[in-house]
Chain A
């Protein structure tokens, strides 16, 4: 897949005018569907995480007929549930100088100047409404003694703007959105389709008009028609096999849409989170995050001496290297994730790593416990410490945690314009599945904010505009396109089942993960990326010749589900590597070893790469075509990020 570069301006439909008036202007100019007409429109929402649940509930409340799909047995189990640390909003409750502009600025800078300014500004603008909405739903955010909402600090910011519910913020936010969704189900405005896997998108006359999915209990291939499809299917971190994502997270829905015409933007921007529990054995099935919020009170260090094998409690202060505080005095332990991850890798590669494998650094709470007391630390992070102990059998109140970076989040995703619409009209993409707001690196506590901004406050307007401004012919599942695509989906399943080789899906997925981690992880170079592309192609061939899936398609068959997802990761992984290979610069989570400064910081190349790379599918085994959306920075001056 060599790069056929095409200079074409993608129309992002960003409204004119000053940045702080763009969204208002856009809302004023959008066409409306009158209240009585809303019930004539059907909308499919795939995914019930923060983005999907909030969108489906809000659209149901407006009066549209909504169908909501997820692969879990209940919408409440979407992976948003696992978010720990918190959600940002520019409320400025602590009176420490926060503002919409500052949240916008921090996010653009944190993203290493690779996001679209207008989208980020809107995100910051609606952030306060999100908190209000969640509080009104009964989300029990942490409070001060006086009963007001409490905040904490997250990486990449010098103000305290993160709202939280202990270490289970995502759970509480999702349960809030889920309860709103359940209310609409009871009201008859949303119909639920759990245990469904979306397998394909149906495009009729150029518009997204429905989906094909598999009932994961009966195996039946179902078709559903609508006037708009909202894809809220989360991120693709599991391309690396080991990640902090849930086991079922996949790229299938997004990848299938990509193959039907939706451009895929910046797939190489993956976030490697600095604080995860290290890998312990070959049987490892996933990695567990220890929230970034821990860096508020935990200090990261390694021994100063490469050969120091003493247990951490016996290493005195003067023999410890608090390398983040040393290298980045202004932000210290609170530098953004990409910076913290690379710094940990640098220390471990240089031989200073700790633990059995040497691939770990300490995250130490001794000072915080001494200063604030154990109870205060327990109140803030109790469930995280509990989880750490369950997994490692070590008590972090007594010994420092051992942590190492792990794949965590996908900044890349389907390309969307200001309306969150993909290059397929009528296909909207929300939440982690789109590429829109985080550039090359996402700041902590900003994904929850984005998912809910998209679902509660953006899509309900822009989807209405799509319905009101385009003439959509009447299409049902009787349309031949639905039959055609359902047959393709069935054939693909048959093809998977008929391979009948020798290797399990887990085995092949692990191998893919190793290729991705070794070559497309925290540090990348041209040679490794080219090799990865070759290896992924070979593994893809191996998969189609040698995968072993038992059973049939007409039953609950978890190996078959996994095989379908793995097949897509095996195609997607190649695009990720291709994108990383073409981007000859270092920015955010994308670090090219060829492009670094003398003190090992990322060297961006704004002259040549200040654009979003949007890839167009051209056919199986054919080069994808690159489209560039130039990024213009009118508000925030393009500078080198510095956290020193």
Chain B
């Protein structure tokens, strides 16, 4: 059960440093010793930052909050992979046991036109909020709700809906896509509602408005490479994009205005 003395790691880090959006960035190199394989990736960066502050160099700015893989705040490209090498894992849940002693690790922010860099590894993802504002909701006011059991929902619909609603909005799908498309993010919300009766009245309007906003934000088109699914820490499947495409087609055919 208790592992035999695990080997501690020495690492070479190449990290993107950029002081603000309108300034050019560059890679800088750092050495770290004595990293425990049980540390999380962010705890490794915490240690680096302690060292940097002690040496008088600005610490590396990175977004994080829950450190439990659910808030979607963290995210960085690690050796070219969104959230790094571990499957279905956010950066905060990635552990150093997935690296080897002597490794070089290249760390960059999400790269996408719609996600401008704010500082170092932090990007602005407010485009996601605006896609939701375009239609990612059910139009119901507080107090208008019918009894909770008024609509019976088959278990498989509810489960399917939750599979889509599990999206944490981190942006890994965009970062992993060569077109910087946010189609998986958009599809997850459309698919969440399509599978529930509550989403039905607005389904046509919703899909058109959300796709429209997606394009306006400067996200690229989806060319079905499925890189998004591979990078998604919440296991959101590309089948939701197929569902979105069907919804979109239907909406285009039936939209009255």
Contacts and interface: CB of A to CB of B under 8 A. Distances in A.
Nearest to B137: A179
A387 B149 contact: no
Contacts of B19: 555
B88 A73 contact: no
Nearest to A558: B61
A283 B36 contact: yes
B47 A137 contact: no
B149 A286 contact: no
Interface in B124-154: 124-126, 128-129, 132-134, 136-149, 151-154
Contacts of A457: 142
A335 to B, nearest CB: 25
A283 B138 CA distance: 44
A387 B68 contact: yes
Nearest to B209: A186
Interface string B6-27: 0000000000000110000000
A138 B68 contact: no
Interface string B153-193: 11100110110011011000000000000000000000011
Interface in A168-203: 168, 171-172, 175, 178-180, 182-183, 185-186, 192, 194
A74 B129 contact: yes
A136 B144 contact: yes
A504 B53 contact: yes
Contact of B20 (A283, A456, A555): A555
B218 interface: no
B255 interface: no
A555 B40 CA distance: 27
B69 interface: yes
Q: Is the interface of B mostly helix, strand, loop or mixed?
A: loop
Among B61, B70, B124, B161, the most chain A Cβ lie within 10 Å of the Cβ of B70
A140 interface: yes
Interface string B189-218: 000110010110000000000000000000
A439 B96 CA distance: 41
Given A137-B137, A180-B137, A217-B118, A73 B142 contact: no
Among B68, B89, B124, B144, the most chain A Cβ lie within 10 Å of the Cβ of B68
Contact of B199 (A138, A217, A286): A138
A399 interface: yes
A565 interface: no
Nearest to B152: A147
B56 A81 contact: no
B203 to A, nearest CB: 12
Interface in A443-458: 456-457
A246 B71 contact: yes
B128 A74 contact: yes
Nearest to B53: A504
A557 to B, nearest CB: 8
Interface size grouping (class) on chain B:
35 or more
B29 interface: no
Contact of B129 (A129, A133, A182, A399): A182
Contacts of A128: 148
Interface in B60-103: 61, 63-73, 86, 88-89, 93, 95, 97
Contacts of B143: 129, 133
Given A136-B145, A137-B138, A555-B119, A390 B93 contact: yes
Interface string A375-399: 0000000000011001101100001
Interface size grouping (class) on chain A:
35 or more
Contact of B95 (A79, A393, A394): A393
Nearest to B198: A138
Contact of B64 (A142, A179, A247): A247
A94 interface: no
Contacts of B146: 132, 136
B1 A394 contact: yes
A526 interface: no
Nearest to A71: B65
A390 B54 CA distance: 31
Given A73-B73, A179-B137, A285 B65 contact: no
A559 B59 contact: yes
B148 A140 contact: no
Contacts of A507: 50
A81 B68 CA distance: 10
A550 interface: yes
Nearest to A354: B1
A456 B2 contact: no
Interface string A281-312: 10111101100000000000000000000011
A76 B72 contact: yes
B50 A81 contact: no
Contact of B42 (A82, A132, A285): A285
Given A61-B142, A73-B73, A82-B70, 18 more contacts: A73-B126, A77-B65, A79-B71, A132-B147, A137-B137, A138-B193, A140-B158, A140-B162, A143-B153, A146-B152, A247-B67, A283-B39, A283-B46, A283-B47, A288-B67, A289-B68, A387-B68, A550-B58
Which 7 pairs across A and B sit closest by C-beta, in order of nearness? A147-B152, A179-B137, A136-B145, A132-B145, A58-B142, A140-B162, A246-B65
19 contacts: A57-B142, A77-B72, A81-B66, A82-B70, A132-B145, A135-B145, A136-B146, A147-B152, A179-B132, A180-B137, A185-B133, A246-B71, A247-B64, A393-B3, A393-B97, A504-B50, A548-B54, A556-B61, A559-B59
Interface of A: 54, 57-58, 61, 72-77, 79, 81-82, 91, 93, 128-129, 131-133, 135-138, 140-149, 165-166, 168, 171-172, 175, 178-180, 182-183, 185-186, 192, 194, 217, 246-248, 280-281, 283-286, 288-289, 311-312, 355-356, 386-387, 390-391, 393-394, 399, 456-457, 460, 504, 506-507, 548, 550-551, 555-556, 558-559
